[in-house]
Structure 1
C-alpha cells in the first residue's frame, strides 16, 4: 500500500493557523514532502505507553544501509523533530509510527 501523505504547512511571516493533526497510520505509515526545512510536531495522545516514531535515512555509508532513526515520545507528550536534510532523508521523508495514538503535523520553515 502507498504511504499516507501528511500535509505540509508553510510557516510565513504573516502567520498561519495551526493545521489539523494527521492520525498515525501504523499499517501504511507516512510520507512528507521534504525541502530540507521540515519540522514535525508529534503528539502522543496515549495515556499509558510511550510511542515510537521512526525516520528513514537514505543512502549508504561504506556500502551499508543506515539504520533508521527512532524517537520515543512519552505518554501525553509532544515533541518537535527536524529539520531533515534532503541529502540524508530525501525529498520524500518516510515516517513510520508504531500506533495511531501518534498525531503528526508537518511544518515547512
Structure 2
C-alpha cells in the first residue's frame, strides 16, 4: 500500500505527477479541497473504492465506489468522511491497476 501526498494547485496552475495505482491499494490525505484524480489507460473499466470507516446508529456506512471508464478518468473527493481513525488517511483500492495512475490534488 502506497501513501500518496497531496499536490497543491497554485494560482499559476500545476503539472501533476502521477503514480501507478498500487495493487494492494493506496492511502491518501483527506479534507476540504482534496480530490483523487484517477486515469485509466486500459481497455476496460476499473472500479475505485474509498473505504468509509464510520457508522451511523451502529450501522456501517457503505464504501464509496466510482467506475472509471476504459481510457477515461475520474475525480473522487477525499472528504473527511473517509478518514481512517488509525491512519488519519483514506484507504483506496482498485479492481485493477494495470495502466491506472493516480494523483491527489488540492485546490
* Conserved 8 A contact 1:25-1:99: no
TM-score, normalised via structure 2 length: 0.85
User: How many residues end up aligned between the 2 structures?
Assistant: 102
Please state how far the C-alpha of 1:40 moved relative to its aligned partner: 1.4
Q: Give the corresponding residue for 2:4.
A: 6
Q: Alpha-carbon deviations, 1:43-65, whole Å to 9, x = none? A: 11102x21110011131012011
Q: Please, which of 76, 81, 89 is the counterpart of residue 82 of structure 2?
A: 89
Please state how far the C-alpha of 1:23 moved relative to its aligned partner: 0.7
Write the mapping of 1:60-99 to structure 2, written as runs, cut at 5 A: 60-82=55-77, 84-86=78-80, 88-90=81-83, 91-99=88-96
Q: Alpha-carbon deviations, 1:80-102, whole Å to 9, x = none? A: 121x321x111411111121232
Q: Give the corresponding residue for 1:105.
A: 103
Pair 1:22–1:34, CA change in 2 (3 A)? same
List 4+ stretches of structure 1 deviating above 4 A.
none
Gaps of 5+ in 2: none
What is the RMSD of the two structures over their aligned residues, measured on CA atoms?
Answer: 1.4
